[in-house]
Chains A and B, each alone.
Chain A
């Protein structure tokens, strides 16, 4: 079974509108971390936001927020006020277990295209 599932291979959003990128995960660990990364065409991985499994509040970082629904095992990324520069691939990732150094497992990604 896939550990991280991103069901939207591609999405369009109008500039200045909000968009939600879906992510569901599968783990039996009680302690885990969820990450979102942005990958522009240059290939670099840009960290956006982190949610720990024990965090009671949804994470927010500027225009990015993470809608964490633990019971549903979903960690959707919400981007508010989309900008043209937000056009990129977005990856959801999970670190299982309590160890900081555990590997990340990535979802298949969502290509976001912002229309002017």
Chain B
């Protein structure tokens, strides 16, 4: 089945530094990747949608200059948290777009998530 590999699973960084999170589709081409953020004890909130070869579409309230998304190939999408601050500490998880409605019946494929802690 479709697998999305997400790395790193956990990262601790100092305030002011940047962190890159990668999501790689291992056995299929992910034309679209969704990036979600989940604060403790809360639900998943969509941050942005990235399409291969084009600029990402950000949800309202998400700073595109702070959360840089690159989707340069059909198998790799990255999220870079720039100048991270403690309030950016969260669980970040990516999800690949199903290619067909029939495929969607089997669920969207999620990465395993990245727990970011900014100290």
Query: Are B115 and A43 neighbours in the complex by a CB distance under 8 Å?
Result: yes
Residue among B32, B38, B43, B107 making CB contact with A50, cutoff 8 Å = B107
Within 8 A of B (CB), among A28-50: 33, 35, 37, 42-45, 47, 50
Name the distance in Å between A100's Cβ and chain B's nearest Cβ: 5
Residues of B in contact with A, size category: 20 to 34
Name the distance in Å between B2's Cβ and chain A's nearest Cβ: 11
Residues of A in contact with B, size category: 20 to 34
The closest CB in chain B to the CB of A52 belongs to B105
Stretch of A16-24, A74-82, A102-110 at the chain-chain interface:
A102-110
Residues of B near any A CB (own CB < 8 A): 31-32, 34, 38, 42-46, 49, 91, 93, 95, 97-101, 103-108, 110, 112-113, 115
What are 11 A-B pairs with beta-carbon distances under 8 A? Answer: A35-B107, A43-B112, A43-B113, A43-B115, A45-B113, A47-B107, A100-B98, A103-B34, A104-B108, A108-B43, A109-B42
Q: List 9 tightest A-B contacts by C-beta distance, closest first.
A: A47-B107, A101-B97, A45-B110, A43-B113, A100-B98, A106-B43, A106-B44, A100-B101, A100-B104
